[in-house]
Amino acid sequence: MSLRGDVCVVTGACGFLGKRLVRLLLEEEKMAEIRLLDKQIQLQFLQSLEDCKGETKLRAFEGDMRDSDFLIKCCRGASIVFHIASIIDIKDSVEYSEIYGVNVKGTQLLLEACIQENVASFIYTSTIEVIGPNSKGEPIINGSEDTVYDITLDINYSKTKSEAEEKTLKADGEVLQNGGQLATCALRPAYIYGEGCRFLLGHMADGIKNRNVLLRMSLPEALVKPVYVGNVAAAHLQAARSLKDPQKRNAVGGKFYFVSDDTPPVSYSDFNHAVMSPLGFSIQEKPMMPLTLFYLLTFLMETVAWILRPFIRIVPPLNRQLLTMLNTPFSFSYEKAKRDLGYVPKYSWEEARKRTTEWLASQLPAERERILSK
């Protein structure tokens, strides 16, 4: 099912995944219009799309996800919304009111705008972190949408993404102003990597500071399956096609799907090494200290931060939940997305790794100069 002639809205359009999705839509679909919604639209990004936009109209909308009137204006006349925008905060550094306002309230307001303005399809970018790992570090290996798991969400990011996903799926079937029905679905990608990934840049910076030795924060046996950004964008496109297809719409609507690809199972730390070893980086054989001691240290840091919270906000560089996430085997199959949405990874592991390493290589000189000049 083609999206030819459709008008779509992409929230978080200037972010890591948003940029990739916008380009993919331009390359593979002849849409009437793509509306780029973000706090600030980068002119350089708009200019970079000139080579592939063809007849598709691009419109920039700068504003806040918590502004109902702004969202209504963005949705007017649109048929599809890709809701990617959110505050990603794995260290609990953002005030709860702020992250709740954007991630939960913003999603609710956007859904209401879609109903008022007769938007037919809504695709929400969720995360595997809405399911875990839980605080006990119980593993999931190649899980599915039917996997039963004891969910405990200790990070505000995970809590707010879970609540926003729930609101999205509950909105499926809501009656639009024109009498039609809204169809929604949610995609739960694993850790997303690729060109533009700020987390990879951070790990590379730490390696530079450590004389080209990457820090080991996860045990080799804590296997996960990161997913390439180009493949996550492809899953979003397939979800939109499926929601538009009358034969698939009811089956897909109201469902969530895990999104992974053929990146081999690997620990987070060893993944960093896999994409950075061609650039001359090695990796520590063992973590800097035993995990039990690491947990004790993070507990002490969290306790000090909590005691000082009334006077000053201190954000520890590591917390227990993040340490658990880094050291828990946690992976999911994309078989249901393949079966229901027709999703197949667009990029192989070899191609994804090559592209990611080449991008990191292009960033390396500036990163070295920035760090070594301090």
Instruction: Give the catalytic positions in this structure.
Output: 157
CB-side neighbour CA atoms (13 Å) of 42: 11
How far is residue 345's CA from residue 235's CA, in Å, rounded to a whole number? 8
Residue 247: burial class (beta carbons within 10 Å; 0-12, 13-18, 19+): exposed
3-state helix/strand/coil string of the chain:
CCCCCCEEEEECCCCHHHHHHHHHHHHHCCCCEEEEEECCCCHHHHHHCCCCCCCCEEEEEECCCCCHHHHHHHHCCCCEEEECCCCCCCCCCCCHHHHHHHHHHHHHHHHHHHHHCCCCEEEEECCHHHCCCCCCCCCEEEECCCCCCCCCCCCHHHHHHHHHHHHHHHCCCCECCCCCECEEEEEEECCEECCCCHHHHHHHHHHHHCCCEECCCCCCCCCECCEEHHHHHHHHHHHHHHHHCCCCHHHHCCEEEEECCCCCCECHHHHHHHHHHHHCCEECCCCCCCHHHHHHHHHHHHHHHHHHCCCCCCCCCCCHHHHHHHCCCEEECCHHHHHHHCCCCCCCHHHHHHHHHHHHHHHHHHHHHHHHCC
State both tokens at 237.
């496109």
For residues 324 and 135, the answer to whether their CB atoms sit within 8 Å is: yes
